[in-house]
Structures are given as structure tokens and as C-alpha cells.
Amino acid sequence: METLTLKPFSVMPSIKCGWRSLSTLSKVSMRVVACSGALKPSISTERVSSSSVVVRAAESVVLAPPNGKSDEIAVKSLVPYVDMDEDGGIGIVKFLRGKVFFITGATGFLGKVLIEKILRTAPDVGKIYVLIKAKDEEAAAERLKNDIINTQLFKCLRQIHGKYYMSFMMSKLIPVVGNVCESDVGLHVDFSHLIANDVDVIVNSAANTTFDERYDVAIDINTKGPSNLMEFAKKCSKLKLFLQISTAYVNGQRQGRIMEKPFCKELDVESEMKLAFEDNGMGQNMKELGLQRAKRYGWQDTYVFTKAMGEMVIDEMRGEVPVAIIRPSVIESTFKDPFPGWMEGNRMMDPIVLYYGKGQLTGFLVDPNGVIDVVPADMVVNATLAAMARHGRAPRPSMNIYHVASSVANPLVFHRLADLLHQHYDSSPCLDVDGTPIRVPSMKLFDSVDDFSNHLWQDAARRCASTPDGKLSKKLEAICKKTVEQLKHLADIYQPYTFFNGRFDNSNVQGLMEIMSEEEKREFGFDVESIDWKDYITNVHIPGLRRHVMKGKRGFN
């Protein structure tokens, strides 16, 4: 096995983000407007075949803030662009060949899957500049090695290249110190110029995904980050595409079928940023401020609100820069590529899955007939690469939106998910500290906060009665109380999603699939209709969660 020394770019130390750097957003000042004739489509959880999905008229849809008043927003119509490769299909591999990438958020879950797919399917790609937040170049190189190169996700590449794996990876991946929160994304001026003259595609995957994050922290990364990156993108002489990884939930608490369209008019983003940064130091109040501002304008929480503002900033600033925005729903473990079930960290539905498997959660607050919109990470990446190849060669700049989601094409209903969880743990139970299987009952679903809260305390009382003397020790009692409070908090944070009545139309995504060659569909497939939820949940996702996230921890062996 060869030993190589990582040689990242030498970059000057980062400078702490400051409010004054928001000057680039001076023009991003828009106001809330009411759109007449808002469309409220009916909700359906029926499967829709690809041949029957059509773009429906939805020029405006409704945001429904909890105060009962409706501030409505308009969305722009998109002009489709169709480009067929001369050899058939979109020409994904051909597009990737020789291209130079600049990727933020590459050490995150989805960023890693994206890099792995590019390097495995297009080994003759140019370079991939990886922006890493680190104190210096040595620390950045160490993070690249530990968080990307040495992770299990890349085992297929390791097998392909054998003893040359490290040299291959370091010939492609260039770690650079930087921070999306800063002007020029924290790059030293010399290397800023170097990358600006070299890069073909910018991918912004950096994000803070905490639902109730401090308002200033979330805005810094999710709103100001895209602004700084777009400012840098406009300096790139050969840039072919700016690709933003967003979330389908930037659409807020809309009802019915939600189309793949950008915002046309929205709130005063600059004022929101001033509000967040002028009030810094508020501590816990900053968390409350973020949730208050989000709910005031019809978003579920601080995360999706600040991501939505990030999209608004991109659209306002882009000018002649071609833009594609990928809006995935709830991203979970890989479907099959590079292997089934890989994941990292607890995703959205995973705390519920884990608590239930350990016997600590026997019910949850959710609309039993509602839909949880789940999509595997590798399908998100494949759709991203297809959109990249399609729009990276467009003859004119435009902004295109893609919902990578399942709620319209292949909905997974909550009561069905609950049944699948029970089936898995009934046949493959977790073990307690003594090695005894933990038997779990069928999960109860509650559509009332009071009923759910009562259930949690009754469940705790049941566990108390199961002790020899029918009483809990003070330590165990404190643990049960803490668990109940954690579950109530989890249900409160998730409630806007577990009772969400919007369904994400994916007509643009299906349009991509229709122009792909059969070979591309096999290598870069993202057809959510092909997912068998029973097989995916019970045989892929939960085993992957236990293997890659819990990693044999007590109770999950």
C-alpha cells in the first residue's frame, strides 16, 4: 500500500462572518404580495404512473400561517429546455468528462454520495475542489482524509483502484480552506482567482439542517452562504452551471400538489438578515425568533425558511449564471448505489425508528393517512447529475427546479410505515444489555397532542409497573421522565411534517428520465416509482441504520 502526503492549497486563515458582508444583498429586497386566484388542488395518495403525470396549472399556491391569515406567493413559470446527446440520452458521463467542480458541503452525507458517484462513473473527471471549513490547510487535508477518503462509502472505489486508490483520490480531490459565510467563500485572493478561472460547475451542498437552529446561525449558512457563493460564481470565467442543493420543503406549508417552480416575489430578505444579526447574543431567544419569523410567513421552521430565502437570493443575484436547484424531500439511506443501505447520522425519520426498535417509543403524533415523503440518497445524486448534464450545456441561462420526491409518484403512508417498522423488529428484534430480544408492539398513531402525551406517560407507568417492586429507582425515574420530554419535543418539532398536506409534483424530474438513454437509466436511475417500500424499509434502510449509524452499539447488535 502506497503512502502519500496530502497537499492541499495553502489558504489564509478564515475571517469570522460579519453582518457588514451582507452588502451584496442590497438588491435582494422584496415584499410579500398577495396573488389572486390561488389554486388549492385536491390531495391524493394514489400512485400516479409516469405516463399520466402532467404539468398542471398552478401559477400560485397558498401559504397558511398559523394566525389564520393567508399571505400568498407567486411562482414563476419555467421554460423547458431539451437537449439530446448525439449518442442518445442526456450524455451524463460525457458531460462529466474533464469537468472541474467546486463543491461545498462535501463532507456531509449527500455531498459524499455525490463525490463517490462522480469519481466512480467518470474517473476521467477533471478536478474537484472541496471547500472545507478548517483552521488551516493541514486540518482541511485531515478532514478530507477522515471524512471522505477513508469512509466505508468509498469501498467500491477502493476495490476498483486497489493500491492506487489514494493516488487516484488525491489526483482528483483538492481540499481548500474556506467558509461559505464569508466573502469569496473565505478563499485567499490568489486561490480565489485560480479556482474562478478553472471551475466548470459549482455545487452548493452546505447547509445547517437543524429545524430550530438559532436564527442568525441558520441565516448565515442557508441564506448568506448562497449569496456569497453566487457572488463568487459570477467571477468564474468558464462556469457552466451553479447547482444548489435545497429541500422540497422550501415551499412552506402549502396545500395540495406543489409544482417545481421558483419563487417570483417574496419577503424582504435583507431586512430578515439585519434582524438576525443586529439581535445576535440573544441566545435561546434567537431560536425562538427564527421559529417566529418562519411561522409568520408560512414556513414550518427556521431551517426551511432560511433555505427558501437562500433560493430567493440566488434567483435575484444570478444574472447570466445558469442555475439548477435540486429540491429533495426527506433524504434517507442509499437504495442500491454504491451499495444498499449506506447512511450517515440520524436522518429525519430515524430517531423514531431507533426509539421504537429499543422499545422506548410505542406510538407517535402523526396523521395516520398522511404521507411521509422519502427518497434515497443515491436517487437524489443521480437526478442531480442528470440535471447538471442537461443544463450545463444550455444555450441560454435559466433557472430550473427539480423535486426529487415520492409523495405524488409513489406515496408512503404513515400507517404503512408503522406496519413495516413492526414487521422488521418483530422478525429482527434489537437485543437488550443482557442479550434478550426486545419485543415491540404495533406502533400506535395519534392525531391529537393530548392523546399522544397521555400515551407517553401511560407507557412510562407501564414500564414502572414491570419492575420487581413496581417502583422505579430515582435514577430510572429521571431517565423515563427525560425520555418522555425528549419524545414530546421530537413530536412538536416534527408536527408540521407529520401533518403536512402538500404533495410534491415531480414532472420536471420525470421529464429528465424520459430523455435519458436506457444505459443512463441503469447507471443513473432515480425512478421513485420503482421503490418497493416494504423491501426498502425492512431490508435496506433499517438494516443500514443499524449497521452504519448504530454500528453495533448496545441494544442494536
| Per-residue H/E/C for 272-308 | HHHHHHHCCCCCHHHHHHHHHHHHHCCCCCHHHHHHH
Pairing between β-strand 72-74 and β-strand 60-62 as defined by DSSP bridges = antiparallel
pLDDT band at 179 (very low <50, low <70, confident <90, very high): very high
Q: How long, in residues, is the chain?
A: 557
pLDDT tens-place string over residues 422-457: 999 999 999 988 889 999 999 999 999 999 999 998
Q: Does the pLDDT at position 8 exceed 80?
A: no
Q: Does the pLDDT at position 21 exceed 50?
A: no
Q: Does the pLDDT at position 51 exceed 50?
A: no
Q: Does the pLDDT at position 345 exceed 70?
A: yes
pLDDT band at 467 (very low <50, low <70, confident <90, very high): low
What confidence score (pLDDT) does residue 542 get?
Answer: 96
DSSP state of 65: -
Mean pLDDT of 93-109: 97
Rounded CA gap, 84 and 103, in Å? Answer: 26
Higher pLDDT residue, 320 or 22?
320
Higher pLDDT residue, 528 or 60?
528
Average pLDDT, the chain: 85
Percent of the chain with pLDDT over 70: 80
DSSP state of 524: S
Q: Does the pLDDT at position 22 exceed 60?
A: no
Mean pLDDT of 350-363: 92
What confidence score (pLDDT) does residue 279 get?
Answer: 55
Q: Does the pLDDT at position 79 exceed 60?
A: no
pLDDT band at 178 (very low <50, low <70, confident <90, very high): very high
pLDDT tens-place string over residues 221-248: 999 999 999 999 999 999 999 999 999 9
Q: Does the pLDDT at position 62 exceed 50?
A: no
β-sheet bridge partners, residue 403: 327
Residue 44 CB partners (closer than 8 Å, separation 6+): 503
Rounded CA gap, 304 and 300, in Å? Answer: 7
pLDDT band at 266 (very low <50, low <70, confident <90, very high): low
What confidence score (pLDDT) does residue 57 get?
Answer: 34
Kindly list the catalytic residues. 303, 307
pLDDT band at 282 (very low <50, low <70, confident <90, very high): low
Q: Does the pLDDT at position 82 exceed 80?
A: no
Phi, psi of 243 (to 5 degrees): -115, 120
At the fourth CATH level, the homologous superfamily of domain 92-329+373-408+505-526 is: NAD(P)-binding Rossmann-like Domain (3.40.50.720)
Q: Does the pLDDT at position 466 exceed 70?
A: no
In single-letter form, the type of residue at position 346 comes to: N
Q: Which residue has the cell 452562504?
A: 225
Taking phi over 0 as left and psi of -120 to 50 as alpha, with beta for the rest, 167 belongs to alpha
**SS3 state at 372:** strand
Rounded CA gap, 528 and 137, in Å? Answer: 40
Higher pLDDT residue, 145 or 22?
145
DSSP letters along 424-471, please?
HHHHS--B-TTS-B---PPPEEES-HHHHHHHHHHHHHHHHHTSTTS-
Percent of the chain with pLDDT over 90: 70
Q: Does the pLDDT at position 78 exceed 60?
A: no
Mean pLDDT of 208-219: 96
Q: Does the pLDDT at position 469 exceed 90?
A: no
Rounded CA gap, 483 and 122, in Å? Answer: 47
Mean pLDDT of 94-121: 98
Residues of the chain with CATH 3.40.50.720: 92-329+373-408+505-526
